[in-house]
Structure 1
């Protein structure tokens, strides 16, 4: 598989052809030097250079131009390519001599006689040049083919890695603590007979929350506005459950509302704060969720006034929420993200995460 340049396949072919012609001129210069000073052909260096330039350039034009026209930048079939070279070399030899004679003002019959001496040396030189040209073009095409294969394999490996990462993230999203739903349904069942009006209100909040959660769980990216809207639905539901024991504040500046973030990134932290901080506390408390921009990083904070890390019951631990956030941040940003848990004053926990914008 060949990856064309952004300017398009045609531009890539022309640039490749121009580069091959330029490389050929270096070989033509070397051949002219060898003919003049090693084979010691008559006519002088300039004459030999003109002949070498004409023959070599036409040979490259026929071979490389024909290859690009017929097969593009893909690897050509071996025997068809060799056949192209076999046909192109004699044609380039004849036409190149004629062109050089014309440019130098030498009659064609005189040119043939002038360059007909030392036929054995010329034959050996032509054979060596032909073998070199065949080796050069074929080796280069083989290297280009192997390079393209390596790039394709690298792309396939990156695609597999990306799919594995997406599967990991979806699995982590699916692990978001489900106990809240079961507890809410249990409370709803108890409220139906005791307070039908409150049960109806809780059911409305639950439907709104589940609808928002379903949309978020199916997305790979969301905005802070949508994330905070999901948190508002969840906290509204918890407010119906806990009543005056729960208060909350969501602080999202207008200039950050449309910023893209991973979905349900804050949800586990808010659930964790309620489950381990506010629910076990008799008087409840307050949760504050805040978004701030610090240079090139986005800081998200979940602050609660619950029991705190030291006073939380040993059996509750930190649950799935904190580990879920850590694993998702590691999968998405690696060392580019930070996550900290610190005590709040006078009580509670401050969970803070910073991610690159």
Structure 2
């Protein structure tokens, strides 16, 4: 766990400790309420009813009852909220129709076994029907609350994400207005500069042409929602060619992608900000330079991307998103368009790996 994360914000198998604390308080409340209800109701019982119930032992068994319920609830909570997070609520409700009777049956058998093991009393005969009805009702109540809470959290995250996207869009529009230039005028300037370069400096002309192509692709990216993967990689390669002129032999690049994936459609300008981040924050400070690896493959009907470097790496991976707009914009685009996460992990033997799937 991240030591900088507050204790109650840390997660245990995907569930926040503060949520588990609220969960524990919820159980203590209902156990106490059950105690009170039985105690008050017992005043109207006759001696025979008290003897049948074995009242003192039954009161002790209430705590055991809710401990077993809590133990059985936690894995179901983890399954629905963590493992099956992307399932629709309709599918989860159908799953509950299977889990509810299992929960009741398993709880009843464990509860009765535990009571008999330690000598506590429990309902017997026809009265044991209450040990089916009440746990079923309690199951529906607690998971109704859990799903309502989870829906509220998801909705708040959605509102926050939409707000961040609006902020990013506004900043982008302002930046575009500040730097607005007629693209054709810009291309003409590039051509003029290229024409003024002496023929013997053919390499310089080539670099100017590649820079012109980068601007042309960026203009296209602002006008279309998706481009073929081949075009995005061509743009990335031109960008890396310019970076190689700066780093010389200090920068090594490896691209791994199968040819049949080149026609896949992806959002433009998706990879370049990630590669630029790896070069700027991972490799540029190293005297010996390093290697950038781009790996693209398809698995389970999704296109997977991995950009790794052999740079200095990142210790606080959450704080990276606060340092620049490149990673943040890409993160927000992935969340908004594909509900996909931008994952940062340590590369081996050193450096950073950025991965996502669409």
Q: Settle same-fold status: TM greater than 0.5.
A: no
Q: Looking at CA atoms only, which structure, 1 or 2, has the larger radius of gyration? A: 1
TM-score calculated relative to the size of structure 1: 0.43
Greater relative contact order, per chain length (Cα 8 Å cut-off, separation 6+): 1
